Amino acid sequence: MCIKRTPDSESRFKIGAGRSAIDETGLKFDMDDFASYAVEVALQMNEKQGPGETVAVAVGPDSVQETLRKAMSMGADRAVQLKTETTPFDGLAVAKAIAAELNGGGYDLILFGKYAFDTSASIVGTAVAELLGVACVTAASTLEIANGRGTARRELEGAGEVVQFSLPAVVTIDEGIARPRYPSLKGIMAAKKKPLETKPAQLGPVRVTVTSMELPPDRPPGRIVGQGAAAVPELVRLLQTEAKVL
């Protein structure tokens, strides 16, 4: 499972002095939400169908070690940090680092989040699959493995798709499939002794770079039209004459 460390999504963001990054002061960072679903799916699968080994991989500076420890406190057996100075916004560059690490094989499933909160891109998992030449199912909302084959469901716009695929495979995980567990005290203690290996990341060339960041324009402040059903005629009038959506 490939996990990313991202800022807490409930934060109020400010743009940093250089206008090309968010201001990180005071922000809490944690395992990305979708990545935590991927970890939970991997652990449940191993509990049901193991014993196998579950490995957490993160590309980034030393701060990602905390996130990798969290994955191990949830139950992952070991962790690998692919070390970079900073984590680029370029999804293909990150995918190349992960693919280089996994090139030797030794896995049945590589799980990713459907997208990461910060990049909101849905790139890394699928690109890794393509670089490794293995099957890839994106945005799985269910996942089962039996007899060396996988079955998953994906939500398309207005329809669902049930797919079958060969292993090894990359699957990117959608929400709703499993709620991530909280690390137990015992898990946290055990994680301290689990192996965390650090290697230099073989990032590909970084060709996508952030030139600036800005906050989106605020919506005009809200307005209360009135109370109860008595306010309905006025609302309908505003929708017709002011908003012109009716």
Partner 1 sequence: MPNILVFAESRGTELRKVALETVTAARTVVDAWGGGEVHALVAGAPGVGAKAATLGQHGADVVITCEHPAYARYARESIAATIAARATSAGYRAVLLPFSAQGRDLGPRLAAKLDAPIVSDAIEVSGSGDSLVVKHPGYANKVIVTLTVAGAPAVISIRPSAYSPKDAPRSAKTESMQPAADPAAERVVVKEIIEGAKGKLDLGEASVIVSGGRGLRGPENFKLVEDLAAAFGNAAVGATRAVTDEGWRPHSDQIGQTGRQVSPQLYVAVGISGAIQHLAGMRTSKTIVAINKDPDAPIFKIADYGIVGDVFEVVPALTTAVREARKAH
Ligand X SMILES: Cc1cc2nc3c(=O)[nH]c(=O)nc-3n(C[C@H](O)[C@H](O)[C@H](O)COP(=O)(O)OP(=O)(O)OC[C@H]3O[C@@H](n4cnc5c(N)ncnc54)[C@H](O)[C@@H]3O)c2cc1C
What are the residues binding ligand AMP (CB under 6 A)?
A: 2-4, 32, 34-35, 38, 57-60, 87, 91, 94, 112-113, 115-116, 119, 121-125
Neighbours of 216 (CB within 10 A): 5
Q: How far is the CB of 230 from ligand AMP (least distance, A)?
A: 47
Query: Which is closer to ligand AMP, CB of 120 or CB of 147?
Result: 120
42 interface partner picked from ligand X, ligand AMP, partner 1, none, CB below 5 to 8 A per type = none
First to last CA, the chain: 48
22 interface partner picked from ligand AMP, partner 1, ligand X, none, CB below 5 to 8 A per type = partner 1
Q: DSSP string covering 36-84, please?
A: HHHHHHHHHHHHHH-----EEEEEESTTHHHHHHHHHHHT-SEEEEEE-
Give the Cα separation of 33 and 50 in Å (integer).
25
Query: Which is closer to ligand X, CB of 33 or CB of 90?
Result: 33
Query: Which is closer to partner 1, CB of 24 or CB of 197?
Result: 24
* Binding residue (CB under 6 A) for ligand X from 33, 40, 90, 101: 33
Tell me the HSE value of 216 on the side-chain side, using a 13 A CA sphere.
3
Q: How far is the CB of 226 from ligand X (least distance, A)?
A: 14
Strands 135-146 and 149-156: antiparallel
